[in-house]
Amino acid sequence: MLTLDEAKRWLGVSGTDNDVLLAQLISAADKDLKAKVGSYDENSELAKLYMQFWLGCIYADRYGEMSNKSSSAAKQAMENIIFELRLQTEADNANGNDE
């Protein structure tokens, strides 16, 4: 799972002013990912990348000013990552590696 430090590096955030908000967003990103792919390997770099994109989109629009300006490139990347994670989850389940 994405750590607070990884999220802060990805977003270019320093200091601790937003730590509580970022922790809540990391939790929400985890729930979003689990809703889309089921259980997943929390050490997966692909899962972390999805969470970073998700967090970046939500954090950038935390004041609701960009809701109609979301990046189609980021959305496409997130859809591709979800597809790959679903394939990995299906393969793991087929091989008896349930998480």
**37-71 pLDDT tens trace:** 988 888 999 999 999 989 988 887 777 665 555 56
Residue with tokens 């300006």: 69
Domain-located, residue 54: yes
Mean pLDDT of 4-8: 96
Domain-located, residue 55: yes
Domain-located, residue 49: yes
**Helix, strand, or coil here: 5?**
helix
Domain-located, residue 15: yes
Whole-prediction pTM = 0.75
In this structure, the dihedral spanned by the alpha carbons of residues 78, 58, 49 and 90, taken in order and rounded to 10 degrees, is: -50
Domain-located, residue 90: yes
pLDDT at residue 76 in the model: 76
Domain-located, residue 12: yes
Domain-located, residue 62: yes
Domain-located, residue 99: no
Provide the domain count of the chain. 1
Domain extent, residue 62, equals: 4-94
Residue 7 predicted with pLDDT over 90: yes
- Amino acid at the residue 91: A
pLDDT at residue 73 in the model: 66
| pLDDT band per the 50, 70, 90 thresholds, residue 21 | very high
